[in-house]
Structure 1
């Protein structure tokens, strides 16, 4: 595809891996099957259709068959260049922003969002914090990558594994997970707990404190911190139960990844988790930051093989029915098409979220 033919740009200007980057990396190849879309930014994998910054010179001309290009931003640092290209350089662009935040935006962010031509919210809760109508599109999951069939993480022969993945920091509730495991594991000798993910230097002390508490409880061989793993997919297949305990979260993909692997989930009500986990069916949802509630919700899953099997089966079926990545790509494309057709955007109150 020639740069001049690009009809949608997915900028990603943050080099460090994040949930937003993961979304771009997963969605763009799928969107490229139906759209002339390309990513723009540093450090993106080679398999993505990509633009160079020098290619922006082609954007003064409209793409073939379209009245304008679409610039789909997901961060402030991507909204602002889109505004400059559209309003400062007068390029034929329309701007779309996806918001995952579950808090009132800063004044600067609200200023930028008001200049968008369409807004997507990744959950109903995120939409509630916006000052303008938004289309709710829940993230999907790559069911070709995440699923119960395939390699599993090695180790722990004869043991059941309860897992937790993500950055090791207070925001992610890693301490709540560790506290629950310290209380529960003495009653369940067949289980081990694994918290994958790294602690950044500013949270190294937090991780050291967690390890010290585990050692003091005599559980250093049963509550493990393997660090950042090269591929988390085999771990989700290895986990017999997954715990997502964040105190706050934007969206939170890990419960989807676990449930797509056939693993039941106990989650806090941070992020979009109340819209992802069907409480009492595919797992449990408890108030964010409530360590006692988290511990109480985990206990039955450690004790009851049949409960885990039932919830895991329901989780897999629910992911396949409600959360395929193709559904997300189709719903985003519908937003683009409404812009190209000059149709009014659907509001958060009118869009179906396939719940």
Structure 2
């Protein structure tokens, strides 16, 4: 999402030509074309279905190097390759350097900086970090290379009542219930099991609650989470919804966003909740801690707290949401900080510095 928003801003506000190097026939390619972004087919559709371990194999990168060099030559020179993860640095970072291109690495993860990762990141001419904790993780490249730039997060005007009606109708939920939600794929660090345990503790004290998990399988299978929910006594008071469109409805429809994730690089959902007028409760850790302290809109729960303690904080926020919701001026400040225009301008400044260095 952040990449699509960045490219939208670069093309619209900075008049910069942007090209997606991606396999045709993938959801990313389809969405890029829908948004009017130029797409060059990598011809690697088969690899998009491989496991990450297989795709990270350096022998695959070497095998594809000649084809990737041809793709980059099609773009024309000079060019900047902007990579969003370590795998893309392996895929196109080295290829770009071989052709004299500049490379930007956009760091938005807290993966371990083992030697191969440090080597790949070190190839970049500039590193953009999306949060303070991400910036700390790439400090080894030097202050002259690394810069902190907030990801763009924009949401349109959403009628919360209408969103609630749409979501409840789609999922068969009684709209009179108080709705608490989890938004994110079911990775270990997102702590969906923690969410279920907190939900059970909340339901014991507020029987009018209904819980919705908007997300897809990852480290956890949905069937395993469903079985755990039933064992905790959540019964028909929990719904596994996948993701509904428009995405804003997932947060606007609920009365409380519960974000128990740990080691979160930044996280869009608390910011989106603040803009949509939905209070949140999040773990006081990593990127979520930064969000809670800098922009507010919800309440942070100490990292060491158990699900029952998380539940107590969540119930307190539900009882008095106005105590944490952003006011008009605070919301306007968030809109400006996370605007596509501001993000594109900051990234364009990085590009121009690299282009100036090339000319010098």
TM over 0.5: yes
- SS of equivalent residue, structure 2 residue 128: strand
Counterpart for residue 119 of structure 2: 111
Counterpart for residue 82 of structure 2: 72
Matches within 5 A, 1:253-332: 253-278=268-293, 281-288=296-303, 290-291=305-306, 292-307=308-323, 310-311=325-326, 316-332=331-347
1:296 and 1:280 map into 2 onto residues whose CA distance is 22
Q: Is residue 286–residue 297 contact of structure 1 (8 Å, CA) maintained in 2?
A: yes
Counterpart for residue 47 of structure 1: 34
1:36 and 1:190 map into 2 onto residues whose CA distance is 52
1:232 and 1:73 map into 2 onto residues whose CA distance is 25
More helix by share: 2
1:31 and 1:150 map into 2 onto residues whose CA distance is 33
Counterpart for residue 10 of structure 1: none
Matched, 1:37 2:18: yes
Are residues 303 and 261 of structure 1, via their aligned partners in 2, closer, same or farther at CA, if it must alter by over 3 Å? Answer: same
Q: Is residue 130–residue 151 contact of structure 2 (8 Å, CA) maintained in 1?
A: yes
- SS of equivalent residue, structure 1 residue 342: helix
Q: Which runs of 5+ in 2 are unaligned?
A: 43-69, 169-173
RMSD: 2.8
Q: Is residue 278–residue 284 contact of structure 1 (8 Å, CA) maintained in 2?
A: no
Cα distance per residue 1:257-276 (max 9 Å; x no partner): 22221111111134411222
Q: Is residue 70–residue 93 contact of structure 1 (8 Å, CA) maintained in 2?
A: yes
Counterpart for residue 171 of structure 2: none
2:135 and 2:123 map into 1 onto residues whose CA distance is 17
Counterpart for residue 353 of structure 1: none
TM-score by length of 2: 0.76
Q: Is residue 107–residue 134 contact of structure 2 (8 Å, CA) maintained in 1?
A: yes
